[in-house]
Amino acid sequence: MDLTGKRVLITGGGRGIGAVTARKLAEAGSRVALLDIEQDRVAQTAAELGPGHLGLAADVTDSASLDTAVQAAVQAFGGLDVVVANAGVASWQTVPATDVDAWARTVEVNLTGVFRTVRATIPHVIASKGYVLVVSSLASIVPMPGGSAYGASKSGVEGFANALRLEMHPHEVAVGSAHPTVITTDLVGDLTTSSSALKTLVRVIRRAGGARTADECAALFVRGIRMRARRVYVPRWAVLLQWLRPLLYSTACDRLIATTGRSRLRRGMAIIDGLPASAPERVLAQTTPRAVPPTAWPKPAR
C-alpha cells in the first residue's frame, strides 16, 4: 500500500506508540487523525506533525465521544483508509489481589474500546476498501501470571481481529492484529520508577532482546500497514512464539514450572502485588472520566 495521501485514524495517539506511529505515517505522506482522552496532549502531538493533521479528544469507552471524533475526521479528510485501534491500559496484579472494577475497566478499555473504535469507523474503511490494525500483544500468546486482565483483554482483541477479518473479506478490507512485546513507553517508565524489582525485570528483558522502543515498534506497525499485514509481531522474531504456542500451553510446560520455577513464580507474584503504582489504582481513575484531570489517566501501553 502506498501511504501517500492515505487517511489514517489512530486511537491512543497522544503519546507513546500511537504518537510515534503517527509521525512515521505523516513522514510517509499520510494524513493522520489522532484520537486520545488527553485533549491537550493529543492537540500538541497533532500540531507537531504539521498542517493537515488532526488531534481530537475521544474516549474509547464512550461511543458518543468516538462517533463525534470519527465524524470530525471523516469530514476533514473525506473518508478513512486506515484505522489503528491502539488505545489501551495495563493492569498487573494476581487474581486474588485484583480489584474487580479495575479488572473490568482494563477489559472495557482494551477490548470493548477496540470494538467501539472499529464499529464507529468500519463503514468508512469499507467504502475505501482499506485496512484495520487492532493492537493486541504478545500477552495473547504467552501466558502472563499477574496479568490476567491484560492478557484476557489482549487475547480478546486477537479473537476479535480473527472474526473481523473473515467478515471483511467480501468487502475487500484487510484486517491485522499487532502483537508487541514490552515497549519502553511512559507507562513502563512510571512502573519501573516505582519498583526497583520491576526495573530489574525490564532490564533483564531488554538484555535478552525482548524489549523494544516505541520507535522500533512504530516502524513495524507502519511496515504492517504498508503490507496490509495479517499479523504484526514486535520484534519480528516473535512469530516463533506463535509457532510454539501449543507448547506454551502444554501439560509439559506446566510441569516444568511446577518442578523448577514454582518458588521463583511465587516471589514474582509477591513483587507484582506489592507494586505501589500498580494499575488497579491507575485504571480505576478512569471510572469517572469527567471528574479526573487528564494527567491522572493511565498512559497507553503495549
- CA 88 to CA 9: how far, in whole Å? 15
Compute the residue count for the chain: 302
Q: What is the pLDDT of residue 294?
A: 33
- CA 141 to CA 62: how far, in whole Å? 29
Q: What is the pLDDT of residue 298?
A: 40
Q: What is the pLDDT of residue 195?
A: 47
Q: Is 233 a catalytic residue?
A: no
- CA 117 to CA 11: how far, in whole Å? 8
Q: What is the pLDDT of residue 24?
A: 98
**Total-model pTM:** 0.83
Q: Residue 9 is placed in which grid cell? A: 485514524
Is 271 in contact with 93 (CB distance < 8 Å)? no
In the chain, domain spans:
7-296
- CA 66 to CA 72: how far, in whole Å? 10
Q: What is the pLDDT of residue 296?
A: 34
Element (H, E) at 270: helix 262-273
Beta strand ranges found along the chain (DSSP E): 7-11, 31-36, 54-57, 82-85, 131-135, 174-180, 182-183, 211-212, 231-234
- CA 41 to CA 15: how far, in whole Å? 8
Q: What is the pLDDT of residue 183?
A: 80
Q: What CATH architecture applies to the domain 7-296?
A: 3-Layer(aba) Sandwich (3.40)
Cα Rg, the chain, nearest whole Å: 19
**Predicted confidence pLDDT, tens digits, the chain (302 residues):** 999 999 999 999 999 999 999 999 999 999 999 999 999 999 999 999 999 999 999 999 999 999 999 999 999 999 999 999 999 998 778 888 888 998 999 999 999 999 999 999 999 999 999 999 999 999 999 888 888 999 999 999 999 999 999 999 999 999 999 999 888 755 554 444 444 445 555 554 455 445 668 999 999 999 999 999 999 999 999 999 999 999 988 998 888 877 776 666 676 666 666 654 444 444 544 443 333 333 333 444 44
Q: Residue 175 — φ and ψ, nearest 5°? A: -130, 130
- Upper half-sphere CA count for residue 206 (Cβ side, 13 Å): 11
